[in-house]
């Protein structure tokens, strides 16, 4: 892929700031699995206007790009990404009015949880320990324990690739298991309005602490990972299938099926992206051979050039 021309890069720097454009930035520094080679360009927009400028510029140049949040459900290849990666983590504004919370897509769920707790609002506790940003959580309808994003999202603010702003209701978002209207990649989540309820701060904190304790007990949080790697097959639990297949602790290179929770693949140290991908494929093959169940990966896997087009 050819580089962007100097005039285009200068225009981008003037719009989003010199510090918001990095070149050949290692993606292992921006994903929770801590693997992946460099992106040719790495952009950090601070506002909707910055994001619109980037989208319209890159679309006009027909230049490939990928938009990411926290990178907690994402694997870049070892070769890197020969295009532009746009990270929206800087967009983190939150407004709380009564029982409604509007938050921008870049805020981490754990940070949003603290602000919601400070306002004595309940309903968001299930999301407090999910790694990732609000935008990614809305896009994939993230869930844990007793809740999913679809249960609390009132409306979503979106941007098209042409820079148009849209507002979609909960129903219009077409929420389903680990997917939504945004899953195809044609719409970018800018923020969401959540509908919560007044609650007792001590009870809210107690529930968050309980869920945190349960996660720490059952999940390998001490290692880099992408969280749960596979979607839940109908009628089964992915972790149990993998465990029953005798794959707990199985390793390829620096990647390992967690001994604590078989639904997790962890970076034990020095894993390459290819180690992780090979282990995912081996787990899928083994479970299919033993139980005739096909495990579907819920982690987003990019190719060296995987344009969001």
Angle at alpha carbon of residue 74, lines to 25 and 32, rounded to 5° = 75
User: Same domain, yes or no, for 100 and 170?
Assistant: yes
- Indicate if the alpha-carbon torsion angle 126, 131, 137, 143 is positive or negative: negative
User: Same domain, yes or no, for 151 and 233?
Assistant: no
Under the banding of pLDDT at 50, 70 and 90, the label for residue 305 is: low
| For range 99-106, the mean pLDDT | 97
Pick the more confident residue, 307 or 163: 163
Q: What CATH code is carried by the domain that includes residue 28? A: 3.30.43.10
User: Same domain, yes or no, for 256 and 172?
Assistant: no
User: Same domain, yes or no, for 34 and 59?
Assistant: yes
309 assigned to some structural domain: no
pLDDT at 306: 44
Last residue of a domain, one of 42, 57, 87: 87
Q: What is the pLDDT of residues 31-58, one digit of tens each?
A: 999 999 999 999 999 999 999 999 999 9
User: Same domain, yes or no, for 76 and 115?
Assistant: no
65 assigned to some structural domain: yes
pLDDT at 19: 94
User: Same domain, yes or no, for 147 and 233?
Assistant: no
pLDDT at 2: 77
Q: Is the pLDDT of residue 307 over 50?
A: no
| For range 116-129, the mean pLDDT | 96
Last residue of a domain, one of 203, 237, 268: 203
Last residue of a domain, one of 87, 109, 138: 87
208 assigned to some structural domain: no
User: Same domain, yes or no, for 21 and 63?
Assistant: yes
Pick the more confident residue, 74 or 184: 74
pLDDT at 1: 65
From CA 70, how far away is CA 44, in angstroms rounded? 12
User: Same domain, yes or no, for 245 and 270?
Assistant: yes
Q: What is the pLDDT of residues 211-246, one digit of tens each?
A: 999 999 999 999 999 999 999 999 999 999 999 999
| For range 158-166, the mean pLDDT | 95
User: Same domain, yes or no, for 106 and 179?
Assistant: yes
215 assigned to some structural domain: no
307 assigned to some structural domain: no
For residues 226 and 299, is the Cβ–Cβ distance under 8 A?
yes
Pick the more confident residue, 184 or 189: 189
212 assigned to some structural domain: no
Q: What CATH code is carried by the domain that includes residue 163? A: 3.30.465.10
Give residue 196's domain range.
Answer: 94-203
Under the banding of pLDDT at 50, 70 and 90, the label for residue 308 is: very low
Under the banding of pLDDT at 50, 70 and 90, the label for residue 309 is: very low
Catalytic residues: 178, 228, 298
Q: Is the pLDDT of residue 293 over 90?
A: yes
Q: What CATH code is carried by the domain that includes residue 248? A: 3.90.78.10
pTM given for the model: 0.90
- Indicate if the alpha-carbon torsion angle 116, 97, 171, 49 is positive or negative: negative
The share of the chain scoring above pLDDT 70, in percent, equals 98
| For range 50-79, the mean pLDDT | 94
Average pLDDT, the chain: 94
| For range 136-160, the mean pLDDT | 94
Q: Is the pLDDT of residue 140 over 80?
A: yes
209 assigned to some structural domain: no
Based on the structure, what is the number of domains in the chain?
3
121 assigned to some structural domain: yes
The share of the chain scoring above pLDDT 90, in percent, equals 90
Residues 6+ apart with CB under 8 A from 122: 196, 197, 198, 199, 200, 203, 204, 207
Residue with tokens 């306002």: 119
User: Same domain, yes or no, for 132 and 190?
Assistant: yes
User: Same domain, yes or no, for 106 and 184?
Assistant: yes
Among 10-14, 270-274, 301-305, the minimum mean pLDDT is found in: 301-305
DSSP the chain: -PPPPHHHHHHHHHHH-GGGEEEEEEGGGGSTT----EEEEEE---SHHHHHHHHHHHHHTT--EEEESS-TTEE--TT-EEEEEEE-TT---EEEETTEEEEETTSBHHHHHHHHHHTTEES-GGGTT--SBHHHHHHTT-EETTEEGGGTEEEEEEEETTS-EEEEETGGGT-BTTB-GGGGSSEEEEEEEEE-EE--HHHHHHHHHHHHHHHHHHS-TTS-EEEE-BPPPTTS-HHHHHHHTT-TT-EETTEEE-SS-TTEEEE-SS--HHHHHHHHHHHHHHHHHHH---PPB-SEE--TT----
User: Same domain, yes or no, for 98 and 199?
Assistant: yes
């Amino acid at each position: 892929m050819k580089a962007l021309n100097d005039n285009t890069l200068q225009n981008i720097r003037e719009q989003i700031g010199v510090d918001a454009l990095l070149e050949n930035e290692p993606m292992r520094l921006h994903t929770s699995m801590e693997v992946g080679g460099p992106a040719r360009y790495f952009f950090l927009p601070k506002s909707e206007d910055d994001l619109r400028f980037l989208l319209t510029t890159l679309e006009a140049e027909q230049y490939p790009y990928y938009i990411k949040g926290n990178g907690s459900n994402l694997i870049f290849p070892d070769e890197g990404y020969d295009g532009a990666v746009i990270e929206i983590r800087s967009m983190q504004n939150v407004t709380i009015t009564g029982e409604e919370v509007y938050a921008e897509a870049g805020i981490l769920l754990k940070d949003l949880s603290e602000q919601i707790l400070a306002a004595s609002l309940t309903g968001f506790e299930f999301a407090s320990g999910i790694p990732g940003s609000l935008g990614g959580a809305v896009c994939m309808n993230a869930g844990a324990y007793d809740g999913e994003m679809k249960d609390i999202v009132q409306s979503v603010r979106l941007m098209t690739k042409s820079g148009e702003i849209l507002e979609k209701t909960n129903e219009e978002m077409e929420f389903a298991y680990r997917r939504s209207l945004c899953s195809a990649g044609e719409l970018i989540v800018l923020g969401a309005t959540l509908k919560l309820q007044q609650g007792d701060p001590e009870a809210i904190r107690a529930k968050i602490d309980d869920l945190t304790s349960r996660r720490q007990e059952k999940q390998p949080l001490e290692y880099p990972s992408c969280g749960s790697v596979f979607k839940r097959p109908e009628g089964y639990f992915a972790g149990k299938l993998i465990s029953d297949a005798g794959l707990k602790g199985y390793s390829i290179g620096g990647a390992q099926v967690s001994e604590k929770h078989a639904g997790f693949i962890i970076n034990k140290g020095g894993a390459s992206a290819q180690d992780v991908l090979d282990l995912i494929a081996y787990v899928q093959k083994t479970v299919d051979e033993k139980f005739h169940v096909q495990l579907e990966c819920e982690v987003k896997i990019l190719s060296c050039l995987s344009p969001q087009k």
